[in-house]
């Protein structure tokens, strides 16, 4: 019988060497594989890192550009307000010199050439006439602007040329009126008006000459304000509008008042802020613009004023994602023991032409949209409460987005509910 001891020593040594070599080869292959895999992973990670760095850099550049734009807008508004304050001060001096009780400066409406608008106004009726538009061709102020010649008259003696609009609107009674053209760079850029002397007398020829001379100090300030229509928008003097078609989504939480009935106020507010944070962030990632917050809901707009391709499909996708996100938020609240069982979420989406513009007080202007689609979206939001998914869209939204979603997808087979369509939301 062959025994291990019968094997020659040199053969044993050779076997050991071969075994060691085999082991070394195996280890080398393994380490090489690891190195190659590590190299591939490293390259992948480096590529992803480069892409992320590029994305972050782009975001940082966008934020910086936006910050710069906001800074420039703020600075531009502050500078315009400084010029306007100086103009108002100069007007007050002239008004006092003439013994008038009211004054105003009218300029051409940059967005409607046949009308004049008030750049500024002072007196008992000022707040009621600031938004009024004065016809260029049928008013004395318009005649002075076109002719470049001052005019002083009594309204009762010259009723054919006196535009009654401001008086009719404000209840003010114009008696003595003095209109002075404001010239800058060889061009008449506005008209200064002074009304009703304190003693009830008419303005004299001397008053006209005095106002014309003093008006030379007003013109450069007026020119600085009217040179760029955007300045007038910043001051709230004029509100140019954008007209476009877009999609609009109204969304809110139903029965949210229960939160304030069953939770301390700070906890209820905290939950609502979490909802706004998560839902709002999701909407922004999908290309929406938050128009406004309203109690426990918000209005989203797509394609105005920022253009968005296939905005109707984007609105549907965003709304469906928001519904799914709310279900997740509500589930988390329930696990935390919050009394949110009665809460539900509803969304209405509509599409069509609207007008967008800056609305509000001059000290608090905000961009918003107005039109039938906005009202319809709010109506669909109310109706959506009685549906399974809580999400309704109008026929126009359906038609604009039809064919966008792949065949077989949940969004490709919307369920018609009367005159609207219910969008299915995955559980």
Structural domains for the chain: 81-235 (3.30.450.40), 242-422 (3.30.70.1230)
Mean pLDDT per 10-residue segment, the chain (427 residues)? 47 55 62 64 62 51 48 71 93 94 93 89 88 87 94 79 73 88 92 94 94 91 90 79 90 92 93 95 93 94 91 95 95 94 95 88 80 96 91 94 78 76 80
State the pLDDT at residue 76. 75
Q: How far apart are CA 303 and CA 243, in angstroms?
A: 11
| H-helix segments, 99-170 | 126-129, 140-147, 165-170
Q: How far apart are CA 238 and CA 108, in angstroms?
A: 11
State the pLDDT at residue 1. 44
State the pLDDT at residue 192. 96
* Triad 161, 162, 167: Cα angle to 5°: 160
Q: How far apart are CA 135 and CA 91, in angstroms?
A: 23
Q: How far apart are CA 362 and CA 235, in angstroms?
A: 6
State the pLDDT at residue 65. 47
Look up residue 386 and give its DSSP letter: G
Cα dihedral 184→207→134→123 (10° resolution): 110
Q: What pTM, to 2 d.p., does this model score? A: 0.61
């Amino acid at each position: 019988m062959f025994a291990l001891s019968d094997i020659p020593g040199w053969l044993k040594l050779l076997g050991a060497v071969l075994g060691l070599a085999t082991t070394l080869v195996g280890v080398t292959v393994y380490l090489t594989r690891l190195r190659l895999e590590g190299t591939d992973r490293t390259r992948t990670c480096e590529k992803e890192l480069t892409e992320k760095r590029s994305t972050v850099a782009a975001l940082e550049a966008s934020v910086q550009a936006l910050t710069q734009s906001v800074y420039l807008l703020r600075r531009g508004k502050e500078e315009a307000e400084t010029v306007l304050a100086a103009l108002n001060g100069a007007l007050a001096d002239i008004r006092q010199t003439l013994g008038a009780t009211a004054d105003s400066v009218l300029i051409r409406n940059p967005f409607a050439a046949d009308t004049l608008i008030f750049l500024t106004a002072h007196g008992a009726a000022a707040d009621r006439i600031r938004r009024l538009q004065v016809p260029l061709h049928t008013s004395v102020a318009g005649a002075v602007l076109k002719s470049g010649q001052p005019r002083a008259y009594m309204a009762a003696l010259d009723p054919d040329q006196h535009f009654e609009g401001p008086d009719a609107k404000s209840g003010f009674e114009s008696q003595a009126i003095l209109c002075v053209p404001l010239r800058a760079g060889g061009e008449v850029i506005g008209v200064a008006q002074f009304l009703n002397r304190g003693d009830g007398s008419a303005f004299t020829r001397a008053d006209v000459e005095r106002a014309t001379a003093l008006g030379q100090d007003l013109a450069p300030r007026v020119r600085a304000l009217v040179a760029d229509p955007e300045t007038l928008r910043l001051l709230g003097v004029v509100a140019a509008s954008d007209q476009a078609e877009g999609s609009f989504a109204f969304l809110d939480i139903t029965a949210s008042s229960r939160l304030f009935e069953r939770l301390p106020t700070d906890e209820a507010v905290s939950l609502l802020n979490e909802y706004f944070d998560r839902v709002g962030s999701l909407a922004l990632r999908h290309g929406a613009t938050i128009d406004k917050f309203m109690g426990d809901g918000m209005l989203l707009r797509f394609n105005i004023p920022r253009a968005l391709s296939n905005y109707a499909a984007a609105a549907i996708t965003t709304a469906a994602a928001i519904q799914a996100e709310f279900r997740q938020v509500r589930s988390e609240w329930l696990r935390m023991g919050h009394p949110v069982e009665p809460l539900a979420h509803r969304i209405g989406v509509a599409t069509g032409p609207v007008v967008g513009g800056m609305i509000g007080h001059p000290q608090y202007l905000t961009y918003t949209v107005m039109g039938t689609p906005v009202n319809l979206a709010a109506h669909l939001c109310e109706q959506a409460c009685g549906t399974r998914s809580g999400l309704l869209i109008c026929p126009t939204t359906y038609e604009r987005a039809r064919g966008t979603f792949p065949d077989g997808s949940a969004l490709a087979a919307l369920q018609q509910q009367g005159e609207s369509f219910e969008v299915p939301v995955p559980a």
